Structure 1
């Protein structure tokens, strides 16, 4: 790959990353969320019995203290409750409340709208190629970084 192509790729990926994050932040702000909180809440909502902070952190690829801080910021929305774990008094299960479950369709709609806005106007074939190329790039890059870098998405 020549230097010109390398520069174009770097610029495009950097700009896409920044613009996507900013657009996502605006959409989520309408719901009272910050980027990353949507993923935590969505993952928790997929588990009717809830998850411990450690389980959630492992699922997202972050450290438990990071998950704890993120949950503390989310807690004011009343979107989940903490329940003691009977077998380990040091742990709690995070269980999504009815208010949290009610928010999930809005999160999914925000994701869908953002995807449409980002990819709208391209053919299904172009979209499939774009997704495949980005997934391949993610796989190659995953080997170069600590998995916790992926925590927010």
Structure 2
């Protein structure tokens, strides 16, 4: 890749990252969420019996203290509850409440709207190519940073 192309790629990716995050923040603010909290709540909602903080951190590719801080910020919304783990008194399970489950469709709708707005009126073939290229780039970047980050954040 020549210098001109590499500059265009870097500029486009940096700009897209910033704009996407800002647009996502606006959509999530309407739901009372910050970027990252959407992924955390959505992931928790996929497990009816909840999960421990360690399990959640592993799924997100973050450290348990980071997950604990994120949960503390989310807790004010009443979207989950903490339940003791019968076999280990040091652990608690994070279980999404009914209010949290009711919020999930709104999160998914915000994601869908944002994806539609970001890609605009492109053909299905162009969408498929764009998604494939972005997924390949993500895989290569994961290899560079050595992380198995599952969350979009």
User: Same fold by TM (over 0.5)?
Assistant: yes
Match of 1:139 in 2: 139
Match of 2:18 in 1: 18
Q: Note if contact 2:59-2:150 (Cα within 8 Å) is conserved in structure 1.
A: no
User: SS state of the match for residue 82, structure 2?
Assistant: strand
The normalised TM-score by structure 1 is: 0.97
Number of matched pairs: 153
Match of 1:37 in 2: 37
Match of 1:88 in 2: 88
CA-based RMSD: 1.2
Match of 1:116 in 2: 116
Match of 1:27 in 2: 27
Give 1:152 shift.
5.2
Deviations 1:101-126 (A, max 9, x none): 00000000000000000012111100
Match of 2:3 in 1: 3
Matches of 1:43 and 1:34 in 2, distance apart? 15
Match of 2:59 in 1: 59
Matches of 2:152 and 2:71 in 1, distance apart? 13
Match of 1:101 in 2: 101
Give 1:146 shift.
4.0
Matches of 2:138 and 2:152 in 1, distance apart? 14
Quick one: structure 1 residues 14 and 150, their matched pair in 2 at CA, closer, same or farther if it must change by over 3 Å?
A: farther
Give 1:147 shift.
1.9
Give 1:34 shift.
0.5
> Which contiguous aligned blocks of 4+ residues in structure 1 show a shift greater than 6 angstroms?
none
**Matching of residue 74 in structure 1 with residue 70 in structure 2:** no
User: SS state of the match for residue 48, structure 2?
Assistant: coil
Give 1:54 shift.
0.3
Q: Note if contact 1:35-1:152 (Cα within 8 Å) is conserved in structure 2.
A: no
